[in-house]
A and B are shown apart, each in its own frame.
Chain A
Amino acid sequence: MGEAVVVNNLRKVYRVRKLVGKWPADLLSFRWTEVPALQQVSFSMNSGEAVAYVGPNGAGKSTTIKILAGVLRPTEGSVRVFGHDPFRYRIHNSHNIGVVFGQRTQLWWELPVIDSYRMIAKIYGVPRSDLDKRLEMAVDLLELEKLLHRPARTLSLGEKMRAELGSVLLHGPRLLLLDEPTLGVDLSGKRRIRQFLAHLKKIGVTVFLATHDLGDIESTCDRLIMVHQGRIVLDGMVSELLASFGHDIEVRFADDRVEGRSLSDALGLEVSGANGRFVIHGKGTEPPVSVVERLFSLGKVVDISVKAPDLEFVIGSIYDRLSGGQSSCGHTSG
């Protein structure tokens, strides 16, 4: 296994031109301002790992991907992809990575998809036998057979994205950098894309997936890194993150005189509801089974259900916490 990506104390600052004053003075005068995009970002990824990279719009996700791809140079800090500086060794790096930006395509507009594929294979110097093998895999996983002979401009958004994903597979990249690959894609398209990513992960490709789509994360990634305002605020396993949030337990007692207050005191947990029907908000520290057992000892239970926390809720609450619970930028879409 070795390390696929090592990022150390990465800082990236953009310069933005701001117009000053009103017309016509603004035609001539402007000021440069520096906008930090990433600050003190450090993380590493082992080969074969699948990491979700989440954060509100403008958090710095795309910037990170562009730096890993060697397109942008970090302002400070060091970045290594398979041991090399991606900006300095851009061309070498590009053989190791496959990059997909949602909404942007490498396919040639006027040509059938298959011709673009052959071209891309030629650009990367892929031997014929490898190309055939990978093409077959892409066609299989992404169900491309009907798209191959159509010009890219005639494809729908979802089809284009599938064709695009197929194209980054052709040179056999060891690391996939994906920037919102399911953006605007319908449900069946998403399902195919997720199958595709899961398969790549299985054959040992390292996946770095920036997304707003929590379904993508649940189906593909083991680990989650969250950025907010250019800083990493969370880095951990998805399963641990979910567990740390605890389960909600819905319970109905036979005796509707049971009081929420006393229940809460007895369990040491937050409780809502009344008249014998309650929701107990578990903590990640205690397994739900033990809470259920304790509930049974507190009275005759007629009905009980345990609801696992979902990622949308978990990430939504973290965003809310980060933005002080008032901004709307923590909104997640499913």
Chain B
Amino acid sequence: MRTYVGVIALSFRDYQAYRTNMLLRVVTGLIGVMLQAVVWSAIYARRSVLGGFTMTEAVTYVIVSQALMRATVVRSGLELTKKFRSGEITKDLCLPVDLQAYLGAKDLGRSLSASLFVSVPMFLISWVAFRITVPASAGTWCVFLLAWLLGVVLQLLLGFLAGVAGIYTQYGWGTDKLKDAIVLFFSGAIVPLDFFPPGLERLARALPFQSAYYLPLSIYVGKTSLPQALPVLGLQAFWCITLLLLSRVAWTIARRRLSLFGG
């Protein structure tokens, strides 16, 4: 465990190697925020409530979502496929670590770095510029952050699974982008699930992806009250455990494949 904490800390610093790059990420992020603000102001021009969201709630939802999207850096899947292809995986398998945990810890470090140096500035600027709302109680903040963390873990697991799938397609870019597209659509990162057509909404709620953005953000904007949050956290944990088991099986099979095809 101390090993992985060390990996997180090192990766946290590694990600900050290029400061200008960090600054540019903040700028890019803010452009996305502005785009969302413009679109949603237009949508709400002639109504005050849509899908149960007031304009302030909707704008807060999508802007915080933009900040959260910049905070999640999932590279482990693509890294896994690339390492598999280049044979670099051989070196990693010589280390006394579990490869999934090791790659996951690296991503956590990166995500922490991005959260602190990209998302927090984005959030603060948006807070001043677009007057988004902020949860009043410390309890809501805590539960939101916990739900968000479970969402990150879920995204790491999905990333790893996409990486293992990439081993089979031999070129990881396709599976990783497919995963990104599915998550972007079904997680409610761009549009809250409440705005989906009923059939699609039901589907999205049955899938694990809502854990990544919709569930934490619902807590943030107050659509999920604190007493309602407990089953939500339970659902998120359920999906994390399920995907964890799935990824362990997939990885065992992939290691056998590595053995069959050479490094």
Tell me the A residues contacting B by CB distance below 8 Å. 14-16, 37, 62-63, 66, 69-73, 87, 90-92, 94-95, 97, 99, 101, 104-106, 108, 110-111, 115, 119, 122-125, 151
Contact = CB atoms under 8 A, between A and B. Distances in A.
Contacts of A119: 6-7, 10
A72 B7 contact: no
B262 interface: yes
B129 interface: no
Chain A residues touching B, majority SS: mixed
Nearest to A94: B96
Given A72-B259, A94-B94, 11 more contacts: A62-B263, A71-B93, A91-B98, A106-B91, A106-B95, A108-B14, A110-B14, A111-B10, A115-B10, A122-B6, A122-B7
B91 to A, nearest CB: 5
A72 B91 contact: no
Interface in B1-27: 2-3, 6-7, 10, 13-14, 17
Contacts of A151: 17
Given A69-B90, A111-B13, A111-B14, A37 B262 contact: yes
Most chain B CB inside 10 Å of its own CB: which residue of A66, A73, A87, A104? A66
Nearest to B14: A110
A15 B95 contact: no
Contacts of A15: 260-261
A87 B256 CA distance: 11
A110 B2 CA distance: 22
B90 A123 contact: no
Contacts, number: 81
A123 B94 contact: no
15 contacts: A14-B260, A15-B260, A37-B262, A66-B90, A69-B93, A71-B89, A72-B259, A73-B259, A94-B96, A99-B94, A104-B88, A106-B94, A111-B14, A122-B2, A123-B6
Tier of interface size on chain B: 20 to 34
Interface of B: 2-3, 6-7, 10, 13-14, 17, 87-91, 93-98, 256, 258-263
Given A104-B90, A123-B6, A14 B262 contact: yes
Contact of A73 (B88, B89, B96, B256): B256
Contacts of A94: 94-96
Q: Which 3 A-B pairs have the closest CB atoms?
A: A122-B6, A110-B17, A73-B259
A108 B17 CA distance: 12
A90 B93 CA distance: 8
A91 B14 CA distance: 25
Nearest to B16: A110
A125 B3 contact: yes
Given A69-B90, A108-B10, A91 B96 contact: yes
Question: Looking at chain B's contact residues, is the secondary structure mostly helix, strand, loop, or mixed?
Answer: helix
Contacts of B90: 66, 69, 71, 101, 104
Contacts of B259: 72-73, 87
Contacts of B7: 119, 122-123
A128 to B, nearest CB: 13
A66 B92 CA distance: 12
Nearest to A70: B93
Contacts of B6: 119, 122-123
A16 to B, nearest CB: 8
A72 B262 contact: yes
A55 B226 CA distance: 68
B169 to A, nearest CB: 13
Given A104-B90, A119-B10, A91 B263 contact: no
Contacts of A115: 10, 13
Contacts of A104: 87-88, 90-91
Max chain A Cβ within 10 angstroms of own Cβ: one of B3, B7, B10, B256: B10
A111 B13 CA distance: 9
A15 B261 CA distance: 5
B91 A99 contact: yes
Nearest to A125: B3
A71 B94 contact: yes
Nearest to A16: B261
A191 to B, nearest CB: 25
B5 to A, nearest CB: 9
A123 B94 CA distance: 11
A160 to B, nearest CB: 13
Nearest to B11: A108
Contacts of B256: 73
A251 to B, nearest CB: 52
Given A14-B260, A14-B262, A110-B17, A69 B94 contact: yes
A259 B260 CA distance: 62
Contacts of B260: 14-15
Contact of A63 (B10, B91, B262): B262
Contacts of A90: 93
Contacts of A66: 90, 262-263
Nearest to A62: B263
Contacts of A73: 256, 259
Contact of A91 (B2, B91, B97, B261): B97
A286 B261 CA distance: 49
A124 B89 CA distance: 18
